[in-house]
Amino acid sequence: MSDELDDLKAAFDAAIPDPDPARKAANLAQAEENFARAQGSRTEARQTHQRGPLEALLNGVLTMLTTMTSRSALTATTALVAVGLFVVLPQTSGMFEPGATVPPAPETAAEENVAQADALMLEEPMIVAEEPVVIESDADASVMADRNTARPALQSLTRNSAASRQRALSSPMVEPAPRHALPETEDLGLMFEVPIDPFVRPESNTEDFANAPANPLKVTAEDPVSTFSIDVDTASYSVIRQSLMAGTLPPRDAVRIEEMVNYFPYDYAAPEGPHPFKPTIRVTPTPWNTGTQLVHIAIQGDMPEVSGRPPLNLVFLIDTSGSMQDANKLPLLKQSFRLMLSELRAQDQVSIVTYAGSAGQVLEPTAARDRAEILSALDRLEAGGSTAGQQGLQQAYQVAETMADEGEVTRVILATDGDFNVGLSDPGALKDFIAKKRDSGTYLSVLGFGRGNLDDATMQALAQHGNGQAAYIDTLSEARKVLVDQLTGALFPIANDVKIQVEFNPAQIAEYRLIGYETRALAREDFNNDRVDAGDIGAGHQVTALYEVTPVGSEAVRNTPLRYGETAELADPSDELGYFKLRYKRPGDAASQLIETPIQSGAAAADPEMRFAIAMAGFGELLRGRTALGDWGWAEAIALAQGAKGGDPYGYRAEAVTLMRLAESLSE
Amino acid sequence: MRMDVPDETLARAAADGDGEAFAALITRHYDRVFRLAFRLTGARAEAEDLTQDICTDLPGKIARYRGEAAFTTWLYRVVVNATHDRRRRRATHAKAAMGWGEVEVARRAEADETREALDWLTQAMSALPEDLRDTLALVLDDMTQAQAGEVLGVSEGTIAWRVSEAKKRLRALKEGSHE
């Protein structure tokens, strides 16, 4: 070997550190764990193996970190490239003393890892009995999702607190670089295509994205009634956009189709008459299946004059924990609030409470006309410390109560990167707390910032219980959309607990499928139960729901009639496709109002608004990897959206088309 | 323990589901994997992460070990593949970020890079292309050029050429630094 290589080798040998013993132990344990799981059926492995839940939690967190590639992670990896191979030049090989150039792993990290390994050991005997329960909870969640939205929401809170704790425990280990628990293999000959290893991401119940399996195709004769709560959240779309722009397809569970559809403003017919909003129901052929039709349900909320709206009391509860210091978090948040401030009116009041380590009020309730004072308080905010979500929330509500006056709208706006890992000791109590405050008139909206730390499910759960909107803000234009364009809507509810129930006519419709709203499904009897909470509509909001229906006699009918089933002879076959019912409460009312209307048959060509909504639903289905669309793929979805952009004054639809193109290229 | 059992025997047993054999095998080779990961990445944290990825992943892959190659060759291939995978993912992100005008991403990355790269050694070495780096990592790990060729899926001649190319560049760097 020549001099160069000898020197290089010497330098390398001197510089190569020993592997961290704690991580080695953990990694070996992980490998054995995965090996055990790979053998035999998954259920068997889970039931007999004792370290399952904790490891599974860890895996879930790692998987999440893998999929949520944040900009900071990108920065971290770039930095790693930069320090890569610093070892080489021969004449300086003296500096490569072991330990001199390679800093030892921080002691805390080692301790954490040891502690974690210890925890794994200690927990072994205790967890055995619990494990099947833990595993089953995911299945339960989806079953329950069909019955009641409140329960899965609570569950996701519970799950998340566990995940958060675990994340806190393991953070020194997982922070240095994004982890790719499952490297895709570039075949060099012997390697074969790697399937999605079931043991690497075994439990979706640690995922931080709230979602449920796609709604199944229902047979009208067996189950003619579909009930769900409306959903005006848009966070899912922003998360998808952020993923795509970072060059990865979003995690499937991050895709909630109804939120993608509802992200966009539509030009629906404005309400008239006694109700604050108007449902418009139309039927149109399905672009991806000639044998089915789409029932398009459009709800347009009333848009009262902004000048006539009641005064707003806003308490900004701002997470200033250390993780918020990234440019796309606290600085973006400040800019967002600056934008919003100019839209407020003189009699509106603003207060700011922060939470980081200890919660504190940084701005007394101040009239919106004192712009300078509010802005300077905003400018003084700095990120640092850990997050104590619950404490901050309590203080924010206290402040809100001092501001509330008869006839005013009071709302707490929580801005966070979703990190509730300190203080969320009892998710159930927190949920009850928020729900109680909601009933006493203070609402809660949640704005999510940044990625990598984002705790989508917790955001969703909090906003749902607080009768508010959960939105994810990744760019200044998104901030403008959420806070300025929709200011009155997000902050000024016109109807609470809006539920939809559709009964399909088995004489006309053989099968039907609700597209999206998986996390919003309600039990049939909950529709008439005014105590069951549901989604809320703000001023000017639009909500869209789509059913794919298969007419009787269509060749697209998937289920053949049962041999021993009753063939119900309908005495008077109506030509209505079904019957639409909607319940809502006026803000402050305990009793609900009912809107009902038959769904008339007769499919017509879709107008651009409908076509765009349908294109977004197709976009969502494609991202979720659904096969329900048949051969209908990206090209068709893009063409449909492209041809339905309409006026698009803010460019949202054009952006969606761009995202679809990006997704198309990434999914190749 | 099975200290004296050859790798290949253990690997085949592990491929057939023998957990003890798998544990013995991975314990035996852990440090090796880590060292190679370090040579390939040049950073301790990255090497630790890469090793963890491999540990997580290996149980699924071992079932496909058929004994066509020496176990260490096969294992090194897994390590090299995992490294490539990380690099490619990073490249995708960087490309997407640039393509989308995420100026902020680039700016911050650049700032970090400058900070980390104050050491001129680092800057000099990052000039070495990836294929040469991979080759050197293997050759410096006491692999023969034939073995390195087998791991990387190229001929021995290619390895020989890459080694001489790397030497040439190292020499040039060295001379340049003395000017």
pLDDT tens-digit profile of A61-102? 444 433 333 344 444 444 444 433 343 334 433 333 343 333
Query: ipTM for the complex?
Result: 0.75
Residue A613: pLDDT over 70: yes
pLDDT tens-digit profile of A620-652? 999 988 667 888 889 999 999 999 988 887 788
Let me know whether A583 and A451 are in one domain: no
Let me know whether B147 and B69 are in one domain: no
Let me know whether B26 and B103 are in one domain: yes
Task: Give residue A356's pLDDT band: very low, low, confident or very high (50, 70, 90).
Answer: low
pLDDT tens-digit profile of A278-294? 889 999 999 998 889 99
In a domain, A8, yes or no: yes
Mark which of A152, A179, A204 sits at the end of a domain.
A204
Let me know whether B171 and B155 are in one domain: yes
CATH of the domain at B139: 1.10.10.10
Nearest to A556 by CA among A620, A518, A513: A513
Let me know whether B69 and B51 are in one domain: yes
Among B81, B122, B124, whose Cβ lies nearest the Cβ of A83? Answer: B122
Let me know whether A278 and A399 are in one domain: no
Q: Hey, are the CB atoms on A248 and B93 less than 8 Å from each other?
A: yes
**So what's the pLDDT on residue A53?**
43
Domain extent at residue B161: 119-179
Let me know whether B93 and B37 are in one domain: yes
Average pLDDT value for residue range A19-31: 84
Among B63, B86, B116, whose Cβ lies nearest the Cβ of A79? Answer: B116
| A188 vs A336, more confident | A336
Let me know whether B26 and B105 are in one domain: yes
Let me know whether B110 and B160 are in one domain: no
Let me know whether B43 and B128 are in one domain: no
Task: Give residue A15's pLDDT band: very low, low, confident or very high (50, 70, 90).
Answer: low
Let me know whether B103 and B177 are in one domain: no
How far A195 CA sits from the closest chain B CA (Å)? 9
pLDDT tens-digit profile of A143-153? 333 334 333 33
Q: Look up residue A343 and give its two tokens.
A: 């839209």
Domain extent at residue A13: 3-204
Let me know whether A643 and A531 are in one domain: yes
**So what's the pLDDT on residue A514?**
93
Let me know whether A299 and A311 are in one domain: no
In a domain, A292, yes or no: yes
In a domain, A408, yes or no: yes
| A626 vs B72, more confident | B72
Nearest to A665 by CA among A248, A348, A275: A248
Q: Hey, are the CB atoms on B44 and A75 less than 8 Å from each other?
A: no
Q: How many Cβ atoms from other residues are within 10 Å of residue B60's Cβ?
A: 20
**So what's the pLDDT on residue A456?**
66
How far B155 CA sits from the closest chain A CA (Å)? 13
- Chain B's closest residue to A186, CA to CA, is B81
Greatest pairwise CA separation for chain B in angstroms: 59
Domain count across chain B? 2
How far B138 CA sits from the closest chain A CA (Å)? 11
Q: Hey, are the CB atoms on B85 and A186 less than 8 Å from each other?
A: yes
In a domain, A213, yes or no: no
**Lowest mean pLDDT across A411-420, B84-93, B101-110, B138-147:** B101-110
Q: Hey, are the CB atoms on A77 and B128 less than 8 Å from each other?
A: no
Let me know whether B131 and B175 are in one domain: yes
Q: Where does residue B13 fall: left (phi above 0), alpha (psi -120 to 50 degrees), or beta otherwise?
A: alpha
Q: Where does residue B142 fall: left (phi above 0), alpha (psi -120 to 50 degrees), or beta otherwise?
A: left
Task: Give residue A306's pLDDT band: very low, low, confident or very high (50, 70, 90).
Answer: low
Let me know whether A153 and A224 are in one domain: no
Let me know whether A347 and A286 are in one domain: no
Residue B4: pLDDT over 70: yes
Among B43, B63, B81, whose Cβ lies nearest the Cβ of A188? Answer: B81
Place of tokens 């035999």: A40
In a domain, A314, yes or no: yes
Residue A295: pLDDT over 90: yes
**Lowest mean pLDDT across A259-263, A325-329, A571-575:** A571-575
Let me know whether A483 and A537 are in one domain: no
- Chain A's closest residue to B27, CA to CA, is A28
Residue A328: pLDDT over 90: no
Q: Which residues of B touch A75 (CB under 8 A)?
A: 105, 108-109, 112
Let me know whether B103 and B59 are in one domain: yes
- Is the separation of the CB atoms in A518 and A215 below 8 Å? yes
Distance CA A644, CA A638 (A): 10
Let me know whether A250 and A128 are in one domain: no
Helix segments in A297-426, DSSP class H: 330-341, 371-380, 389-403
**So what's the pLDDT on residue A385?**
56
Let me know whether A416 and A469 are in one domain: yes
Residue B120: pLDDT over 70: no
Let me know whether A477 and A502 are in one domain: no
Mark which of B100, B116, B132 sits at the end of a domain.
B116
Let me know whether A169 and A72 are in one domain: yes
Task: Give residue A512's pLDDT band: very low, low, confident or very high (50, 70, 90).
Answer: very high
A:B CB pairs within 8 Å: 254
Q: Which residues of B touch A190 (CB under 8 A)?
A: 68-69, 74, 77
CATH of the domain at B16: 1.10.1740.10
pLDDT, chain A, mean: 70
Let me know whether A319 and A293 are in one domain: no
How far B1 CA sits from the closest chain A CA (Å)? 16
In a domain, A210, yes or no: no
Domain count across chain A? 3
Let me know whether B21 and B81 are in one domain: yes
Mark which of B116, B143, B158 sits at the end of a domain.
B116
Q: Hey, are the CB atoms on B60 and A4 less than 8 Å from each other?
A: no
Q: Which residues of B touch A5 (CB under 8 A)?
A: 136, 139-140, 163, 166-167, 170
Distance CA A64, CA A623 (A): 17
C-alpha A455: how far from chain center: 8
HSE-CB at A342 with a 13 A cutoff on CA atoms is 8
Mark which of B89, B116, B143 sits at the end of a domain.
B116
Distance CA A106, CA A104 (A): 6
In a domain, A209, yes or no: no
**Lowest mean pLDDT across A66-75, A235-244, A390-399, A492-501:** A66-75
CATH of the domain at A477: 3.40.50.410
